[in-house]
Chain A
């Protein structure tokens, strides 16, 4: 896997297979949670996998509220977690 097929998560490069969503790439790397809830600070990540539950929210290139399970990964994307998901 070359860095040509990687995006960053909180600054760290994460490789992906072209065609995967951000969530699929995160899951492939062993992560199933990447944010916390507003009230109970509970860990959350992938749940419904099809854009319905909004548990997997991330910020992509500065835009918050993106469902990681729907956004196709592209090389060079900057994904940040745990912010921008509580509006």
Chain B
């Protein structure tokens, strides 16, 4: 393949799909690359196209009409050859090139075999989304304890539920659709433990009133949960899990205003499955090595800094969706469209739209961003969450570094951030490279500042053999 391409979009979730569709409609030639087996990202995760009938998951989704419209636009452009859609492709690094960017991916469509692929274009849009933020608790490494997103991905991607009795915990509106989906597929959701107080939302009336669709979505989940008699306990957290070889009992406790477990409120609940999520962390792995500037996302994380056209601080590099701060699928779609209009404008594409639609999309972005900020403030990490750690609670799952070791790195060696803790304790040095423990380690030593992940030169492990082949024999989608 050697046609010239104008834009590479990494990530085929809501933001990347919308961006690609708008850019294609404007006349650009686009490569859309994603590690999944189907477009959709995490929010619209689907099994591969051939499995839609054997693994029906449509009933688990929200906003599928937008998804289907985007799929149909993308398919039409794929048929004309203007869109190259590369699924099962894992991008492992990006670099500046003479006239733009080189995106290095591994085609894992026949995994475990892999083949190196290089994509080049003058413009690059990174829409790689986010992953669940985790706070450790005693027993969180027991089998049967999953991230809330992990439960959702097994449901939406594989049609499976890992157990029968589930307790969900953490904070944020994402816990509700996960609970609703689990209940709809026959699991008994014994409790949803939401650390925040419901009254926190009342402090943001404007953000709520301007986003009636969010009300409707929330009401739908509330209806599903009521129908399945799922209790939602606010100001409550999962503070422990116990079991031999698999979780059998979950300990929950009511929290005081700082998030400290209130004495005498602990309950023991029998459960074989736990799902935990404390909001999300933007996936910045591909942006950091390019020198992309970051900004405070307002939820305790740093995200890609963008202007009102989704341009990053690096010329030719755009970002949309959760990489710019977590805010949900509707925001991601709007940001994707805005980003694509900027690409069309910056490349002087003849098909760039007039001013009216882009202005409306920018207003939508502002409205959804305001909602996301209110959401972050209503669902903060409880400041006193380390109170439920014991010294032997593993914080870094990969290297099995305990809370006690992290605390002594701070107390005895004055470690001031997660990078110093890593040097002292190996926390964050294992397979996941700190993606799971980074935010928690950061909270334990540097509370107050938003979390910025360490720069990782390789975003996904690649074999030396495939790298060696990536010289001349590489299929070059230039």
Q: Does A71 touch B at the CB level, under 8 Å? A: yes
A19 to B394, CA, bound (A): 34
Number of interface residues of A (CB under 8 A): 41
Interface of A is mostly: loop
Give the chain B neighbours of A44 by CB distance below 8 A. 141, 143, 397
| Those of A6-36 within 8 Å (CB) of chain B | 17-21, 23-25, 27-28, 32-33
Contact indicator A33/B143 (Cβ below 8 Å): yes
Are B431 and A49 neighbours in the complex by a CB distance under 8 Å? no
Measured between beta carbons, the chain B residues less than 8 angstroms from A25 are: 158
For residue B463, which residues in chain A have a CB less than 8 angstroms away from its CB?
A: 63
Looking at the assembled complex, report how far the CB atom of A19 sits from the nearest CB atom of chain B, in whole angstroms: 2
Asked if B147 is at the interface (CB within 8 A of a chain A CB), the reply is yes
Contact residue among A19, A42, A60 (Cβ-Cβ distance under 8 Å from B54): A19
Other-chain contact of A48, B141, B144, B150, B159 (Cβ < 8 Å):
B150
Chain A residues with CB below 8 A from B144, complex form: 32
> B44-52, B188-196, B406-414: which lies at the A interface?
B44-52
Q: What chain A residues lie within 8 Å of B143 (beta carbons)?
A: 32-33, 43-46
Residues 54-76 of A at the B interface (beta carbon under 8 Å): 54-55, 57, 60-61, 63, 65-66, 69-72
What residues of chain A lie closer than 8 Å to B131, measured between beta carbons? 48, 50, 52
A17 with B55, Cβ < 8 A, contacts A24-B158, A70-B35 known: yes
> Smallest Cβ distance from B316 to chain A, in angstroms?
28
Query: A17 contacts B150, CB within 8 Å?
Result: no
* Neighbour of B160 across the interface among A24, A40, A70, CB < 8 A: A24
A82: interface (CB < 8 Å)? no
CB<8 Å pairs between A and B, sample of 23: A17-B158, A18-B51, A19-B37, A19-B48, A20-B47, A20-B157, A27-B154, A32-B146, A32-B162, A33-B245, A43-B142, A43-B143, A46-B150, A46-B162, A49-B149, A52-B436, A53-B397, A53-B435, A53-B436, A54-B398, A60-B111, A60-B112, A72-B37
Docked pose: A72 CA to B158 CA in angstroms: 10
B: residues with CB less than 8 A from A are 35, 37, 42, 47-48, 50-51, 54-55, 88, 108, 111-112, 131-132, 141-147, 149-154, 157-160, 162-163, 245-246, 273, 394, 397-400, 430-432, 435-436, 460-461, 463
> A37 at interface (Cβ–Cβ under 8 A)?
yes
B57 to chain A, nearest CB (A): 10
Q: Which of A38, A46, A51, A63 has the most CB of B within 10 A?
A: A46
Other 11 A-B pairs with CB < 8 A, given A39-B400, A44-B141, A48-B131 = A19-B54, A21-B158, A32-B246, A40-B400, A48-B149, A49-B146, A52-B436, A53-B397, A53-B432, A57-B431, A65-B461
- Which of A19, A70, A71 has the most chain B CB atoms inside 10 A of its CB? A19
Where the two chains meet, the residues of A that have a C-beta atom closer than 8 Å to any C-beta of B are 17-21, 23-25, 27-28, 32-33, 37-40, 42-55, 57, 60-61, 63, 65-66, 69-72, 85
Q: Are the C-beta atoms of B132 and A18 separated by less than 8 Å? A: no
A64 to chain B, nearest CB (A): 9
CA distance A54 to B406 in the complex (A): 21
B158 touches A28 (CB 8 A): yes
- Asked whether A48 lies within 8 Å of B132 as measured between CB atoms, the reply is yes
Q: Which of B51, B150, B461 contacts A47 (CB 8 A)?
A: B150
Distance of A57 from chain B, by nearest CB (Å):
7
Point out the residues of chain B lying under 8 angstroms from A19, CB to CB: 37, 47-48, 50-51, 54-55, 158
**Cα distance, A23 to B436, chains bound together (Å):** 19
The CA of A26 and the CA of B152, in the complex, are separated in Å by 16
State in angstroms the CA–CA spacing of A34 and B210 once bound together: 48
CA distance A69 to B160 in the complex (A): 12
Cross-chain contact B146 with A47 (CB below 8 angstroms): yes
Partner of B246 from A23, A33, A37, A53 at Cβ < 8 Å: A33
